[in-house]
Structure 1
Amino acid sequence: MADVPASPSDPPDHRRRTRFLMIGAAVVVLAAVAIGLFIGSRPLPAPPTQAPAASPSPSPSVNERSALAGLRVVLDPGHNGGNAAAPAEMAQQVDNGRGGRKHCNTAGTSTAGGYPEHAFAWDVAQRTRDLLQAAGAEVTLTRDDDTGVGPCVDVRGRSAQEHDADVLVSLHADGADNPEVAGYFAIVSDPPLNDAQGQPTRELATALLDALGQAGFAPSSSYPGALSERPDLATLNLAERPAVLLELAEMRNPEEAAVAESPEGRQRYAQAVVDGLERWAADRG
């Protein structure tokens, strides 16, 4: 910095003091600049590291949560698509489970629009199987398609124990002549022929009927409590596991026929069956 010229009138001591103050100020400024340059050249400190957030514990899978996990189920879709074209085979006499004989099987009923019971039962069974398997259950169907013949009712009834299943549910739809008749109902073997057909089957029927009601379907008014007790159904008589035959809809009733004919309606039926099985499985521990 250049010196500031002195005024002729300033005394010498005053001029020296002024020069000294200006030099000191210059030194302070230079020092501040140097310090700033030094600080700016240093790398900034890294921000403090944070411990990684703990990963949430994995939620249990659907299979681990469901009472259906590991449950072994036989689903019996009623009738078959080829039965109507095989009258001789259908007329074969087989064991009815009570020392008598009865026809191998039948073609089933249909809606007024021609939608057959066998197709309805097959579709609902597949939907039910898929939902059960997604929940961890093991599922066997008594037939592999909707174009074959049979199997006979005695084979269907024995299928639960032959597949070491926990439960048998036979899926059907009723065909009352009166189109005003409506509502679902369950059929159980009565009187029971073994312990499984007693209280365990009654509890299964109750769980399935409750689930259908909670799904918005109407129970049949033809049977008290929507429960029918019959001694003549080989599918139930020959079962050595809890076994229920469900008549899910009245196919001659126009409103219920419309539901049965719709994919959405069949999905609702399937979900209700699954819900009933889950409730039953949970209650049995």
Structure 2
Amino acid sequence: MHAPIRSVAVAVLAAAALCSGCTAPPDTPAAPPPVAEPAVSAEATTQGAVSSAPAAPIVLLDPGHNGGNGANPAALRRQVPDGRGGTKSCNTTGSATNAGYPEHAFTWDLTQRVRTRLEAAGVRVVLTRQDDDGVGPCVDERGAAGGRAGAVAAVSLHADGSGPSARGFHVAHADPPVHGTGPESLRLATALRDGLRSGRFATADYIGQDGLDARDDLAGLNLATVPTALVEAGNMRNADDAAVLTSAEGRDRYAEAISAGVLAYLGR
């Protein structure tokens, strides 16, 4: 049992002796250590995701008139540019129902309802006024507000004050356009018209055509540099329209229809 072990040992010693004069091969360089990937925190990952997401579209809402206008006639009479080379009064008090419900209160309430729905759909909303007890702003400021806010669209909210037999809504847009927004303003007006129709509101039987009203005399439309339309939700002097305009349920219906029109225009 010991003989084979001794033979192996002798063979190994002999091989070592034969190579005693050999030159040793150069040392093989060690492999470089692996490079560690930089650590990415959960916070950084989240921030990266947020920064790469598309920004929310901005929509300007313009609640017509203001609660303090009636007490400040001199301020309202001040002349401002009308967008077509002339001037017109800064603003007006707006209309009211026969029972005294004012247009400025209606537009302010409606704007809040529309704003809530648009924000829930991921739209950023900017307003031309922040309360219902101030004066103005003037129509030229309202017209320029959408461009200053970087809005993709602007919607001015109103209710009309025509004769008592006139009924229905209409949506105004600038025609001829002043700042090259004509086709898109018409598309916005049409989307709003379609939204109101889908909400079971009747188009006006006394103004415009098929619910659309091409206008050249509204400074807020003439001075707009973004697609802009003006909704006259109904006639406050008409008893049937007034019943809807003055009820919370009716204003919810208007808000749902107008929001649907805006979102359809935005492709959302």
User: Normalization by structure 1: what TM-score?
Assistant: 0.73
Which amino acid is the alignment partner of residue 218 of structure 1? Answer: A
Structure 1, residues 28-60: CA drift from partner, whole Å, max 9, x if none?
Answer: xxxxxxxxxxxxxxxxxxxxxxxxxxxxxxxxx
1:108-136 CA distance string (max 9 Å, x none): 00001100000000000011011111111
In 1: Cα distance, 2:58 partner to 2:216 partner: 26
Residues of 1 paired with 2:107 and 2:69: CA distance? 14
Question: In the alignment, what sits opposite 1:205?
Answer: 189
Question: Counterpart of 2:186 in 1: which secondary structure?
Answer: helix
Aligned to 2:238: 253
Tell me what 2:113 maps to.
127
Q: Does 1:87 align with 2:73?
A: yes
Q: Give the alignment of 1:50-89 within 5 angstroms.
A: 70-89=56-75
1:266 matched residue in structure 2: 251
1:232 CA drift (Å): 1.4
Note if 1:282 corresponds to 2:267.
yes
- Note the 1:136-215 alignment, pairs <5 A: 136-176=122-162, 178-196=163-181, 198-215=182-199
Q: Any conservation in 1 of the 2:179–2:223 contact (CA below 8 Å)?
A: no
Q: CA deviation at 1:238?
A: 0.7
The separation in 1 between residues aligned to 2:90 and 2:235, in whole angstroms, is 23
1:10-35 CA-to-partner distances (Å, cap 9, x unmatched) read xxxxxxxxxxxxxxxxxxxxxxxxxx
Give the equivalent residue in structure 2 for 1:41.
none
Distance of 1:240 and 1:105 partners within structure 2: 20
Residues 173 and 221, structure 2, Cα contact 8 Å, conserved in 1: yes
CA shift, 1:227, in A, is 1.3
Identical-residue share of aligned pairs (%): 50
Task: Map residues 224-235 of structure 1 onto 2, 5 A cutoff.
Answer: 224-235=209-220
Query: Tell me, what secondary structure is at the counterpart of 2:202?
Result: coil
Greater C-alpha Rg: 1
Q: 1:109 aligns with which of 86, 95, 106?
A: 95
Match of residue 241, structure 1, among 220, 226, 229: 226
Find the counterpart in structure 2 of residue 51 from structure 1. Answer: none
Corresponding residue SS for 2:196: helix
**Amino acid paired to 2:198:** Q
Aligned-pair distance for 1:194?
2.1
- Residue 256 of structure 2: SS of its match in structure 1? helix
> Counterpart of 2:204?
220
Q: d(CA) in 2 for partners of 1:269 and 1:174? A: 14
CA displacement at 1:228 relative to structure 2: 1.3
Question: Number of matched residues?
Answer: 213
Normalised TM-score (structure 2) = 0.78
Unaligned runs of 5+ in 1: 1-68
Cα distance in 2 between the residues matched to 1:230 and 1:124: 23
| 2:267 partner SS | helix
Per the TM alignment, residue 73 of structure 1 is displaced from its structure 2 partner at its CA by: 0.4
Q: CA RMSD in A?
A: 1.1
Determine the C-alpha separation between the residues in 2 that align with 1:224 and 1:230: 12
2:124 maps to amino acid: E
- What is the CA-CA distance between 1:195 and the residue it aligns to? 2.0
